[in-house]
Structure 1
Amino acid sequence: MSQELAPVGIDAFDEQVYRALLSRQAATPAELAGELGTSSERVVRALDRMHDRGLVGRMSGTRRRYAAIDPQPAVEALIQARTAELGRVRSAAAELARLFEAARRGEGEEVEIIAGREALGRWFVRLQQEAKTEVRTLDRPPYALTTANPVEETAMRGGVTYRAVYAPEALEWPGVLDDIRHLVDRGEQARVLPGLRIKLAIADESLALMPLSLDLTDVRAAVIRPSSLLDALMDYWQLCWNQATPLLATGETDHASADPDEDDRLLLALLVSGLKDEAIARQLGWSVRTMRRRMSRLHEQLGAANRFQAGVMATRRGWI
């Protein structure tokens, strides 16, 4: 099987289906399955994946037919998306190198290592209580606690600003999305960023708390005070914040009639964050069919051919 499209995330079988469709311009899954000697169900899954990537389109009518989209602009859009991803990785690598250099210079007197879930929980509460103006976090599972942050609402009422970057995996954790929506209603600024690998909390510019692994059976974390290491962690948090997508909007907004409602904005944000259809539907309390129908309507509103384009266009319009 040819794998010329593998660098942009198209596997060998999907590429084989795409080439077969290109030779026909348009076809049903059964026609392609007969040509390729495989099942229609497998072909449908491949076509749906390529539809999400903007390589094929679904045709209207009683028979389920797909049409190939001009490969030049379609593949170019995939190349641009992958290039942007690699650029983010390169930027992150530079920041992580700064973390490594700071640690190698022996700033150990500014770093305290703590062990155990209870110690980590106490320090997380203490960090927030010591914050005077702002708490910044990078948040992802797993979670040691099953309840929402017990300190944040009180701190926000006292004038402390909270800005949080969440990994998409956090939104699938039971109850977390509801907790986030509750906190956003009370002033938290929330964004989501795929590929988040660490957990981090920073109070003002004076204290940071970072678990050293995501293994809850052997909890160890670093408490970091003012130092080059803390400076590097603040820079890394800012990099993540700049690249992240707003998850939920705060405050009242006067939308034009063509603008999406709150559920559609959340749908777009979850979609851009990288969650699968089933996970998005579960978080919103919809069926997968309802989720896809609303996504199709948003595609029409935006004039988008695929999810990537929908995310770009929604961001440009200020919908997310």
Structure 2
Amino acid sequence: MAEQWTGRFGGLGLAADQELLYLHLLTTTGLSAGQLGAALGMAAERALAALGALADLGLVERPVADGAVWSAAAPDVALEELLLRRELELRRTRGRITELLRTYRRTSTGPEGELVEVITGRDSIAELWRSLQLGVRHQLRVLDKPPYIRRSDPELELAALGRGVRMRVVYESQVLRDPERVAEIQLYAGAGEQARVLPELPLKLALVDDRWALLPVSSGTELQSVLLVRPSSLLDALAGLFELYWSRAMRVPAADSTDLPRDRHRQLLTLLAAGLTDESIARQMGVSTRTVQRWVRELMDRFGARTRFQAGIQAARADLL
């Protein structure tokens, strides 16, 4: 029975025939190109061409004579060498991006084409955002609010955090009303994301390093078109906008604090400052509305405050926020 192509080595640039032959050679020896082709249901000439390509990549050893048998090279050595070669090619390609961008700008129809690109369609936007997340090197800054194209992909963000990317996210308070999103935010915070919250945000915004900004073309309940902004004074202004809202936002409390009363107060004050109602805070914290109201009264009494706002100011001075 012929083996099925898995595509597991697609990242190494192996075609289907090449992968099938290499995997088969790992499990058998003493076969010629014709015998290998017959075992996998491909013509001898096709098998021979794929084996030649594998030999050029160092994954198989060429026979010394026509019709002789083929054998696989040890995968720990051969694949490692191929990986290093691919990494070198990728670094060279990355180095050509600036040159390609200059060519692109020279052929743009107008000055706007150099700085801003409009991307339309939900699938195109989702794929662009995924590519930007995969390509981020140093920092990712986000103003997070609805609408969303798709559910977030925790693996992408956790992978970026794992490779040392600094992530700062300001969430609009309504995001915290979704228990699933709160669980995701706590997961990211545990992995190193710095998360803050504000009652309202003016727009959705993502800043990838100092190279790109992504934001909607217009506000609304659906996200159909976005702007991709490249290095320019506009990108600088958007970065300044993020920093302004970051400085005003309140920290989202961690979920694993060992100081439970202090953490409860911090979480309560953060949710109050984020504009959530007592009922929403109660659902968020897993308690009754009456309990939330009692805790608020306790904080106001503790700081001698007549309003919730005054309690927040006193709490900030006491380093509870």
- Residue in 1 that maps onto 2:312: 311
* Aligned counterparts of 2:210 and 2:151: Cα–Cα separation in 1: 28
Q: Which moved more, 1:307-316 or 1:166-175?
A: 166-175
Moved more, 277-286 or 145-154: 145-154
Change in Cα spacing, 1:314 to 1:198, as seen in structure 2 (3 Å) is: same
Cα gap change, 1:217/1:192 in structure 2, threshold over 3 Å: closer, same or farther?
closer
SS for the counterpart of 1:274 is coil
Distance in 2 of aligned mates of 1:189 and 1:220: 28
Q: Which residue is 2:241 aligned to?
A: 236
* 1:231-285 C-alpha deviation (Å, 9 max, x unpaired): 11001111111111112259867x6xxx943232111100011111111111112
Q: Cα offset for 1:178?
A: 1.7
Residue 195 of structure 1 aligns to a residue whose secondary structure is: coil
SS at match of 1:151: helix
Gap regions ≥5 residues in structure 2: 1-109
Secondary structure at 1:141 match in 2 = coil
1:120 to 112, 117, 125: 125
1:301 maps to 302
Decide whether aligned partners of structure 1 residues 231 and 208 sit closer, same or farther in structure 2, where only a CA change above 3 A counts: same
* Contact 1:117 1:216 (8 Å CA) reproduced: no
Q: Quick one: which amino acid aligns to residue 268 of structure 1?
A: L
Deviations 1:98-151 (A, max 9, x none): xxxxxxx95442111001221221122211222111100000122222345441
Look up the match of 2:139.
134
**What is the TM-score of this pair, normalised by structure 1?**
0.61
* Counterpart amino acid of residue 264 in structure 1: H
Report if aligned partners of 1:116, 1:220 keep a CA contact under 8 Å in 2.
yes
Is the 8 Å Cα contact of residues 217 and 227 (structure 2) preserved in structure 1? Answer: yes
CA contact (8 A) 2:216 2:223 kept: no
Q: Contact 2:168–2:193 at 8 Å: present in 1 too?
A: yes
CA distance in 2, matches of 1:225, 1:251: 39
Aligned AA (1:132):
R
Q: Is the contact made by 2:147 and 2:223 (CA closer than 8 Å) also made in structure 1?
A: no
Kindly report the root-mean-square deviation, in angstroms, between the aligned alpha carbons of the 2 structures. Answer: 2.2
Give the structure 2 partner of residue 88 of structure 1.
Answer: none
Alignment partner, residue 195 of structure 2 = 190
Partners of 1:143 and 1:197 in 2: CA distance: 15
Contact (CA 8 Å) 2:262, 2:320: kept in 1 or not?
Answer: no
Q: What is the distance in 1 between the residues matched to 2:157 and 2:310? A: 36
Within 2, Cα distance between the matches of 1:111 and 1:126?
Answer: 17
Distance in 1 separating the partners of 2:262 and 2:210: 37
Question: Separation in 2 of the partners of 1:252 and 1:277?
Answer: 23
| Paired residue total | 212
Letter in 1 for 2:266: R
Report the counterpart of residue 275 of structure 1 in structure 2: 276
CA deviation vs aligned residue, 1:179-235 (integer Å, no higher than 9, x gap): 111211111111112231200111111111112234454510011111111111001
Query: Residue in 2 aligned with 1:24?
Result: none
Moved more, 301-310 or 146-155: 146-155
Match of 1:166 in 2: 171
Higher RCO (CA 8 Å, separation ≥ 6 residues):
1
Structure label with greater radius of gyration: 2
Q: Deviations over 1:276-311 (max 9, x none)?
A: 111111111211011111222222222222110111
Is contact 1:245–1:269 with CA below 8 Å preserved after alignment?
yes
Residue identity opposite 1:139 in structure 2:
D
TM-score, normalised by the number of residues in structure 2: 0.61
Identity rate of aligned residues, in percent?
A: 41
Match of 2:285 in 1: 284
Distance 1:304 1:218, change over 3 A: closer
Measured against aligned partners, the alpha-carbon deviations of 1:42-91 in whole angstroms (never above 9, x if no partner) come to: xxxxxxxxxxxxxxxxxxxxxxxxxxxxxxxxxxxxxxxxxxxxxxxxxx
1:175: how far off?
Answer: 1.7
Give the Cα–Cα distance (whole angstroms) in 1 for the partners of residues 178 and 122 of structure 2: 19
The corresponding residue for 1:146 is 151
The aligned residue for residue 49 of structure 1 is none
